[in-house]
């Protein structure tokens, strides 16, 4: 089985998620080749063939041109599947490629499951197993499969290594209907919770805005970041850039401490991939208890200061 991995490059840098593509191919037991529209200045550590196209010429993302580049690599390699990260890049590009090839697409794969791909459904409340007809990657045949993987779902097992065997890709023209005008930073210079190893989140159970610093103090004692549930953000207690959940950020820290968060589906969807979840809640039957590894049944404002004191000793 051969996978064509589509690496990602933004604002002059290779994105780390590129390595997750290789981790996914390894889990699939597939050989791989990679395509990157990037630059020689920042090449991935990769053992294998890398089709490199110049981002200076074809844009960091020009949908028309990047589609043509992918199709060119497909023609050269005849892969069984094409794998993207389910980022805004893969989001936009993968379905274009799939329809151009009349290929089946499976979006945002979170796990491999006995000959099928596991994907989220119904706002991550449910999982579906989806299979391209003919197997995970129908060998050498059309329809091949176009796949996007959830960022963070397939972590590389070790440090990536190797030097790619470069092969340049060129298009005959660079004409495109879409004209790139510019980038603009998001309005809220936000906290990137997706990379945080420890997150301590405040929920409605903290009671009032004045209590939020108590939760923030625990976050800092643990060396982590402050997160928040939607009601707390909607009430204006914490800035939206800290929101965890379907309308905020999706996180996968090593440790997630939910303080006074009952566990609405939308919140759980954003944090349930944490390795270890501690819930502090006065209701032992709150939904958060269903997914927490450890539950402390307590009043948040009584327990958290005591906990912070022990952590900081």
Partner 1 sequence: MLVVVCIKQVPDTTQVQIDPVTNTLVREGIPFIVNPYDTHALEEALRLKDRFGFRVAAISMGPPNAEATLKKALALGVDEAILLSDRAFGGADTLATSRVLSEAIDRLNRQEQVGIVICGKQTIDGDTAQVGPGIATRLGYTQLTLVDRVEKFDPFQGRITVRRKLEGRHETVEAPLPVLLTVVRELNRPRYPTVPMRLESEQATVQVWSNQELQLDQNGIGLKGSPTWVSRIFSPQREKGEIVGDGVADPAGAAHLLVDKLVSRDLLVV
Closest CB 170 distance from partner 1, rounded Å:
23
Complex with partner 1: residue 40 or 102, whichever CB lies closer: 102
Complex with partner 1: residue 23 or 71, whichever CB lies closer: 71
The correct pick among 54, 77, 92, 234 for binding partner 1 (CB under 8 A) is 92
Q: Does 72 bind partner 1 (CB under 8 A)?
A: no
Interaction mask 183-202, partner 1, x per CB under 8 A: xxxx---x-x-----x----
Residue positions in the annotated binding site for FAD? 204, 229-230, 243-247, 260-267, 281
Q: Among 31-39, 76-84, 166-174, 277-285, which window interacts with partner 1 (CB under 8 A)?
A: 277-285
| DSSP labels, 65-111 | HHHHHHHHHHHHH--SEEEEESSHHHHHHHHHHHHHHT-EEEEEEEE
Complex with partner 1: residue 238 or 255, whichever CB lies closer: 255
Secondary structure element (H or E) that encloses residue 148, with its range: strand 145-149
The correct pick among 2, 27, 45, 96 for binding partner 1 (CB under 8 A) is 96
Q: Among 21-29, 43-51, 158-166, 176-184, which window interacts with partner 1 (CB under 8 A)?
A: 176-184
For 213, the token pair is: 């610093």
In the range 233-262, which residues lie near partner 1 by CB under 8 A?
247, 254-255
Q: Does 280 bind partner 1 (CB under 8 A)?
A: yes
| DSSP labels, 251-290 | ---SEEEEES----HHHHHHHTT-SEEEEEES-TTSTHHH
Q: Which residues contact 104 (CB under 8 A, 6 or more apart)?
A: 98, 132, 133, 143, 145, 146
Give the integer Cα–Cα distance in Å for 105 and 98. 6
Q: Among 71-79, 154-162, 204-212, 298-306, which window interacts with partner 1 (CB under 8 A)?
A: 298-306
Beta carbons within 10 angstroms of residue 130's beta carbon: 18
Extended strands (E) in 187-249: 198-202, 225-228
Q: Among 36-44, 68-76, 226-234, 305-313, which window interacts with partner 1 (CB under 8 A)?
A: 305-313
The correct pick among 12, 78, 88, 140 for binding partner 1 (CB under 8 A) is 88
Q: Among 40-48, 102-110, 152-160, 228-236, which window interacts with partner 1 (CB under 8 A)?
A: 102-110
Between strands 104-113 and 116-121, the pairing is antiparallel
Question: Are the CB atoms for 253 and 293 separated by under 8 Å?
Answer: no
Please report how the helices 88-101 and 63-77 are oriented relative to each other, as an axis angle in degrees rounded to 10.
Answer: 60
In the range 15-44, which residues lie near partner 1 by CB under 8 A?
none
Q: Which residues contact 309 (CB under 8 A, 6 or more apart)?
A: none
Q: Does 13 bind partner 1 (CB under 8 A)?
A: no
Task: Return the sign of the alpha-carbon dihedral for residues 297, 302, 308, 310.
Answer: negative
Q: Does 155 bind partner 1 (CB under 8 A)?
A: no
Closest CB 166 distance from partner 1, rounded Å:
27
Closest CB 10 distance from partner 1, rounded Å:
8
For 112, the token pair is: 């491999």
Q: Does 173 bind partner 1 (CB under 8 A)?
A: no
Question: Residues touching partner 1: how many (CB under 8 A)?
Answer: 82
The correct pick among 14, 106, 212, 244 for binding partner 1 (CB under 8 A) is 106
């Amino acid at each position: 089985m051969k996978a064509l991995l589509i690496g990602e490059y933004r604002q002059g840098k290779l994105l780390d998620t590129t390595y997750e593509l290789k981790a996914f191919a390894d889990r699939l037991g597939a050989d791989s080749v990679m395509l990157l529209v990037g630059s020689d200045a920042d090449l991935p550590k990769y053992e294998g063939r890398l089709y490199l196209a110049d981002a200076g010429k074809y844009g960091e993302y020009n949908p028309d041109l990047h589609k043509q580049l992918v199709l060119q690599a497909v023609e050269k390699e005849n892969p069984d599947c094409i794998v993207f990260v389910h980022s805004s890049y893969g989001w936009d590009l993968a379905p274009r490629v799939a329809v151009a090839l009349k290929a089946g697409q499976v979006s945002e794969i979170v796990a491999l499951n006995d000959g099928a791909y596991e994907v989220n459904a119904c706002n991550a409340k449910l999982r579906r197993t989806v299979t391209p007809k003919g197997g995970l990657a129908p060998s050498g045949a059309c329809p091949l499969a176009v796949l996007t993987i959830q960022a963070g779902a397939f972590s590389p097992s070790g440090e990536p290594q190797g030097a790619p065997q470069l092969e340049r890709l060129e298009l005959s023209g660079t004409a495109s209907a879409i004209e790139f005008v510019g980038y603009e930073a998001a309005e809220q210079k936000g906290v990137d919770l997706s990379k945080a190893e420890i997150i301590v989140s405040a929920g409605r159970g903290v009671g009032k805005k004045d209590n939020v610093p108590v939760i923030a103090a625990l976050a800092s004692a643990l060396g982590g970041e402050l997160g928040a549930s939607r009601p707390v953000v909607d009430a204006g207690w914490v800035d939206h850039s800290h929101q965890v959940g379907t309308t905020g950020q999706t996180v996968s820290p090593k440790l997630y401490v939910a303080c006074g968060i009952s566990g609405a589906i939308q919140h759980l969807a954003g944090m349930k991939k944490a390795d270890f979840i501690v819930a502090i809640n006065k209701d032992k039957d709150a939904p958060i208890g269903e997914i927490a590894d450890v539950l402390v049944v307590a009043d948040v404002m009584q327990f958290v200061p005591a906990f912070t004191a022990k952590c900081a000793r």
